[in-house]
Amino acid sequence: MAAEFDSNHVKNIVLIGHAGSGKTTLAECMLFEAGLISQRGQVGAGNTVSDYHELEIERGNSVFSTLLHSRWRGYKINIIDTPGYDDFVGEVVSALRVADTAIMLLNAANGVEVGTDLYWQYANQFSTPLIFAVNQLDHEQADYDRAVQQAKDLVGNKLVIFQYPLQQGAGFHEIIDVLRMTMYKFSDTGGKPEKLPIPEAEMSKANQLHRDLVEAVAANDEKLMALYFEKGELTEDELKEGLHQAMIKQELTPLFCLSAERNMGSGRLMGFIDHVCPSAAEMPAQTTRDGKQLICSPQGKTCIFVYKTVNEPHIGELSFFKVFSGTIKAGMDLENENTHNSEKINQLFVVEGNKRVQVHELSAGDIGATLKLRNTHVNNTLHEKGYPVELAPIFFPPANMRVAISPQNPGEDEKISSILHQLLEEDPTISIEISPELKQTILHCQGELHLAMIKWKLEHAGKLSIRFSPPGIPYRETIRKSADAGYRHKKQSGGAGQFAEVQLRIEPWLPDMPAPEGLTVRNQEVHPLPWGGQMVYCNCIVGGAIDNRFHPSIVKGVMEKMQEGPLTGSYVRDIRVSVYDGKMHAVDSNDISFKIAGLQAFRAAFKEADPQLLEPIYDVEVTCPDELTGAVIGDIQIRRGIVDGMDAEQRFTRIHAKIPLAELHDFSASLRSITQGRARFSMQPFSYKPVPGELQNKLAGQYASSQHLAEA
């Protein structure tokens, strides 16, 4: 049995926007308008098709991206509803990778919010055509003109107004469409509107917006421009074709009006998706990892891309994919280009929230799911055997939060490890670090809400009691001045003994520093350290006091001690070690003797060289509403942060700061509290800087106390 929809009749839509902009409610309207559900669910009631997960119902907002589909006038429209908080940005990025059009919802009361620009940037990154939809125009604080201006500030002259409301707030029930030059009047319950002439008082405004629309479309097509000059107008069909091509090339961004809550305007939006938005087959060909073009055609060799996986209780792993070429059929054997394993596609599904409908095959451009792929993960490409192809992967944003994780109950380490592995499969924005340095398991995630989701899954799906605690800080130790020290190792135990003496000097290492004063360097070795920085070793022995064969052992001893500095037990970095004298014994000297002597001499010199504790500093960028800038800067300064600068971005401020990692543990929660969730931030490692003297003394004291307790 052939696939129900061919590539030319499949359209893939992703709903994006800030939390509270109405994405899930619009998705419900779209399913209702298509006749796939008989009654629209409500987010507050926890009965929508999209937000079906127990956690989403409990929280009252989207946490995961959800695949839905509707049939509309001969087309299959796949709809991916995504979360609005940037803690769950991974769900948005993966959905944009497989979508052919993105609908950006704006809350009419709030306009362009923090995070909207982030999703717009991702849409540009994936070359995804974009539609703006100003939603909640029935809100008492709705401000359509402000939302439009902010959208225009974001995307520039690409924005083209298709609709505007006749009135806003509680009286909103009429939309003027300047493409069709018609007014849609809705009843209080929404649904199918009455089509009426545009009121005389609005004709001047509507005509101007219509001309702006026609000129914007004509400007992107030479043939249409010629027709426009010839006739002074373009027909609706000519405009649709021009818009169609302009959207494929991302040259225009249409803007529509909605009240998804009252189902006003969603049908017109679906009609536009049906008539104008590109089908999967009309989008530009995919560029493979080796630079070739993969055309979306059912006649091509089968190639699918896995963009999301979900582990469902009692069922197993469900893999979501897009067919980028060919036709996939149940029973096919495909090869995973990333793992080179063979995968049998036993079952195929189209998905409607938590419901799966089994199908026999899916054509190029369609999105579906399959169960129990053994060795396939997010970002993997599967293809017909003998026709290797690998599609470009999704690059997920780095983590913004770190926390130490451990089980409350002893003996559950293996179980927690298994559940964490499952979470990593589902969510590539999570990473786990087993830190021998800190002796902790560190969980890296996107923020406070992301962490709450992870905790919920561990406790509910894994039945685990979890302890989250502030993670240790990977401090580093170095020195501020030079110091000389020596150590003689002598051990006699009946047979062959041990003997070695090492005299050395240590100095702070700086690039291009002069040779050690008063010493002759016979050989210099630069040792890059795994934990950052360098150890530079100089052989300054004159006259053969220490044989050359023992220098590697001295280096081993020094490097071993550099893994546990005397101040806090942290790694040591950026030191030059110059060995200038010593003694050896013809019989008793050996490698272990010189390793011990080198270690102890380095240890003694380090204590006399004015040890300095270094802490990791992170480059932090915060974007927040202008009116909250002062409060955010105040919080940064409390955290010993230094503000480097600020950039204006529409009605937002982008703050650049350097903040010690030790002060960033609860930054996500604090920022959300200060800004009511209206800010976002990112953080990247920057450098190591000296710890303030008072703090160094405190940390060194704590370490000394812990060592005494361990020895007791």
pLDDT in tens, 148-192: 999 999 999 999 999 999 999 999 999 999 999 999 999 988 889
Least confident interval from 34-43, 104-113, 439-448, 639-648:
34-43
DSSP per residue, 398-409:
PPSEEEEEEESS
DSSP per residue, 567-593:
TTSPEE-SEEEEEEEEE--TTT--HHH
525 — pLDDT class (breaks 50, 70, 90)? very high
User: In the predicted model, is pLDDT for residue 2 greater than 60?
Assistant: no
Over residues 680-694, the mean pLDDT reads 94
User: In the predicted model, is pLDDT for residue 38 greater than 90?
Assistant: no
CA 487, 492, 498, 502: dihedral to nearest 10 degrees?
10
Determine how β-strand 316-325 pairs with β-strand 303-312: antiparallel
User: In the predicted model, is pLDDT for residue 530 greater than 60?
Assistant: yes
The mean predicted confidence, pLDDT, of the chain is 92
Over residues 651-670, the mean pLDDT reads 94
Count CA atoms within 13 Å of residue 305 on its CB side: 25
Quickly count: other Cβ atoms within 10 Å of residue 187's Cβ.
Answer: 13
In this structure, which long-range contacts are made by residues 639-642, counting pairs with CB atoms below 8 Å and at least 24 apart in sequence? 639/663, 639/664, 639/667, 640/692
pLDDT score recorded for residue 710: 65
pLDDT score recorded for residue 3: 59
pLDDT tens per residue, range 552-603: 999 999 999 999 998 999 999 999 999 999 999 988 999 999 999 999 999 9
Vertex 405, ends 401 and 408: CA angle to 5°? 145
> Start-end ranges of CATH 2.40.30.10 in the chain?
286-383
pLDDT score recorded for residue 419: 86
Single-letter code of the amino acid located at 621: E
Measuring CA to CA, which residue among 438, 401, 403, 434 is closest to residue 417? 434
> Start-end ranges of CATH 3.30.230.10 in the chain?
477-609
pLDDT score recorded for residue 91: 96
> Start-end ranges of CATH 3.30.70.870 in the chain?
401-469
CB 650 within 8 A of CB 151: no
User: In the predicted model, is pLDDT for residue 19 greater than 50?
Assistant: yes
User: In the predicted model, is pLDDT for residue 30 greater than 80?
Assistant: yes
User: In the predicted model, is pLDDT for residue 501 greater than 60?
Assistant: yes
What's the burial of 519, exposed, middle or buried (CB within 10 Å: 0-12/13-18/19+)?
middle
pLDDT tens per residue, range 283-333: 999 999 888 999 999 999 999 999 999 988 777 889 999 999 999 999 999
Domain 401-469 -> CATH class: alpha beta
> Residue 626 phi/psi, 5° resolution?
-50, -45
- Rounded to two decimals, what is the model's pTM? 0.88
pLDDT score recorded for residue 707: 81
CB 38 within 8 A of CB 128: no
Was domain 7-197+251-282 assigned CATH 3.20.20.70?
no
User: In the predicted model, is pLDDT for residue 239 greater than 70?
Assistant: yes
Measuring CA to CA, which residue among 267, 266, 263, 244 is closest to residue 254? 244
711 — pLDDT class (breaks 50, 70, 90)? low
pLDDT score recorded for residue 160: 96
CATH hierarchy code of domain 286-383: 2.40.30.10
Residue 462 contacts by C-beta under 8 Å, 6 or more apart in sequence? Answer: 415, 416, 418, 419
> Start-end ranges of CATH 3.30.70.240 in the chain?
614-694
CATH number among 3.30.70.240, 1.10.730.10, 3.30.450.40, 3.40.50.300, domain 614-694: 3.30.70.240
Was domain 477-609 assigned CATH 3.30.230.10?
yes
Vertex 691, ends 685 and 696: CA angle to 5°? 135
Sign of the four-CA dihedral 319, 325, 326, 327: positive
What is the tally of helices (H) and strands (E) in the chain? 16, 38
> Residue 519 phi/psi, 5° resolution?
-120, 155
How many angstroms separate the CA atoms of 52 and 67, rounded? 11
User: In the predicted model, is pLDDT for residue 53 greater than 90?
Assistant: no
Q: Can you read off the two tokens belonging to residue 576?
A: 């030059």
In the three-class reduction of DSSP (H, G, I as helix; E, B as strand; rest coil), residue 25 is classed as helix
Sheet holding 466-469, edge to edge: 431-435, 440-445, 401-407, 466-469
pLDDT score recorded for residue 234: 85
CA 54, 59, 64, 68: dihedral to nearest 10 degrees?
70
Q: Classify residue 85 by its DSSP letter.
A: S
pLDDT score recorded for residue 409: 85
User: In the predicted model, is pLDDT for residue 273 greater than 60?
Assistant: yes
pLDDT score recorded for residue 712: 55
> Start-end ranges of CATH 3.40.50.300 in the chain?
7-197+251-282
Measuring CA to CA, which residue among 683, 682, 700 is closest to residue 691? 700
pLDDT score recorded for residue 58: 86
CB 162 within 8 A of CB 184: no
User: In the predicted model, is pLDDT for residue 16 greater than 70?
Assistant: yes
Count CA atoms within 13 Å of residue 625 on its CB side: 12
Quickly count: other Cβ atoms within 10 Å of residue 467's Cβ.
Answer: 10
User: In the predicted model, is pLDDT for residue 1 greater than 60?
Assistant: no
